[in-house]
Chain A
Amino acid sequence: MKANQMTSTLTISHLTKAFGGVKALSDVSLHVAAGERVALLGHNGAGKSTLMKIILGLIPSDSGEISICGTAPGEAAARAKVAYLPENATFHSALTGLEQITYYLRLRGEDTSGAMALLDKVGLGHAAKRRIGTYSKGMRQRVGLAQTLIGHPSLLVLDEPTSGLDPVSRRDFYELLDALAADGAAILLSSHALTEVEARTDRLLILSGGRMVATGSLPELRREAALPVSMHITAINGYDTDILATWPNAIRVGKELRLDCAQEDKLATLARIASFKGKVADIDVIPPSLEDIYGHFSRRDGQ
């Protein structure tokens, strides 16, 4: 933790933002270290995009502090170090992919001869000289991705980066991210899907109703949520009443009996089920799913 903060690329403390009296973010604190891949999860309206826009300096915060490599968001020095991929990236339809990337290279003061290589890197080399108006949604998203690779950014802010990408492109995308992180870039990406980001990020942040409700790696969040394990027992014909007698809370679903138990009781429960040898045909132990864990943290107040 301390080591992280020493090399922290992005540090946010006690950030608050309201739109006309409605709190969009309350007391949000987070940090992203150099080389770290952090996923920001939350429902629509949880405050993900607002948080990102504040980090980018597109909208001001009401209170709290933000530091990007020691500079304030929106300052020229900060903008030179931050790359952004908006949700559903759009570009002028009359420009070709090559012209668009060349423009972005010029704005960052980079050599424009690298434009083709960037487009090749995201698999758009073949379409570089076609108008963006003729591109599919996934291709536009890849133009957006190509421009985030310009000039070794220290921090990448990616809003739903894989929306519109097919599974193969997603895998390629995460490989690009891994390479960037290995080079020392800090990455903050938002997503709806926990299943997608869990294997490809170092840490998860869950926003709900403008509050940071959970932070940590997936095993940490799993422990903290302490959701029950589900045991699915298939009894040998006729013996299910014996099992129901032992666990009156079990629910019958089709031929199965379903039983929830706390994490710490898991082994003891299994041992008792094992004692029904000759009466139990099969047993499945189902740990809480990623969506269950996510749902546990992101459940909004009053729901």
Chain B
Amino acid sequence: MIARIFATAITEAHIARRNRWVLIAVVLMVVFSLVLSAVGSAPSGGLGADRLSITVASLTSLSVYLVPLVALLMSFDAVAGDVERGTLPLLLTYPVARWEVLAGKLVAHTGILIIALVTGYGAAALVALVSDPEAAAGLGALWRLTWTSTLLGATFLGIGYALSSLARRASGAAGLAIGLWLGLVVLYDLALLAAVVADNGGTFTTQVFPAALLANPADAFRLFNLTASQATAAASGIGAAAASITLWQSLLSVLLWPLIALGLATLAFRKVEA
């Protein structure tokens, strides 16, 4: 079983390397991280926090957008591409289970994501550590950001595989992936904010809003990182209602989402006819 999963992972790694996905992911993360750390250096004195913690807070806001995008870009072709190329029927006649194929792709894509995250965050952290002797205090926050980003990436990889299985065409899957990214990462928060403003502190704000934040993997990721570094109010802009969500609740959402997404992906892939 493990051997078959790694067989697929090695093959997917070859493909991702040839298709420049490794390079694209790493360059995206490094460039955006460095730009943010340069921009974020200005207000550090005013908040009285060390430079690295400030950088991590900025990186958290960046990662909410960037990590799901990179994950979806890597995964939208995973099943639909195989269906379109006609390579799937032959693969499915091999003594390998469908979930093992997906797991192999996940291992490879998550590995690439980790490389991109470590180089991107690492570059930003290096800048902070060099320029501020107190910055080592933020290393805990950086570690937390790294592993939660990996889980956020795995969640969106799983969602990407599910969409790829449902669409069965790479072009359709790409459209669904971009739509979903816009919906979950951009429009979702805008809609929630609009509802909170309209509700003006009513039951929606106190009851529905916290649950809605936890139900979205990207929001849960942001909440967990900001709550853990006690920077909710400073950086999220979501306000007091979000503060009512405790750390364990957002942690649970961050941990559960990858499993849910992979479950959905497996179910969707099982329905793909060879």
Q: Which residues of A come within 8 Å of B, CB atoms?
A: 53, 56-59, 76, 79-80, 82-84, 86, 88-95, 99-100, 103-104, 106-109, 131, 144, 147
Contact = CB atoms under 8 A, between A and B. Distances in A.
A107 B96 contact: yes
B15 A56 contact: no
B75 to A, nearest CB: 15
Contact of B87 (A90, A107, A109): A90
Contacts of A90: 85-87
Contact of A95 (B8, B11, B93, B95): B11
Contacts of B86: 86, 88, 90
Given A106-B7, A131-B18, A76 B95 contact: yes
Contacts of B94: 79, 104, 107-108
B93 A92 contact: no
Nearest to B81: A92
30 contacts: A56-B93, A57-B93, A58-B93, A58-B273, A76-B95, A76-B97, A79-B95, A82-B93, A84-B89, A84-B93, A86-B86, A89-B90, A90-B86, A91-B85, A92-B87, A95-B14, A95-B18, A99-B11, A103-B7, A104-B94, A106-B4, A106-B6, A106-B7, A106-B10, A107-B4, A107-B95, A108-B94, A109-B3, A131-B18, A147-B90
Contacts of A82: 93
Contacts of A59: 273-274
A80 B97 CA distance: 12
B18 A86 contact: no
Interface string B76-96: 000000000111011011111
Interface of B: 3-4, 6-8, 10-11, 14-15, 18-19, 85-87, 89-90, 92-97, 273-274
Contacts of A107: 4, 7-8, 94-96
Contact of A94 (B8, B15, B89, B92): B15
Nearest to A105: B7
B102 to A, nearest CB: 14
Contacts of A106: 3-4, 6-7, 10
Contacts of A58: 89, 92-93, 273-274
Contacts of B90: 84, 86, 89, 144, 147
B9 to A, nearest CB: 10
Contact of B95 (A80, A91, A94, A144): A80
B104 to A, nearest CB: 10
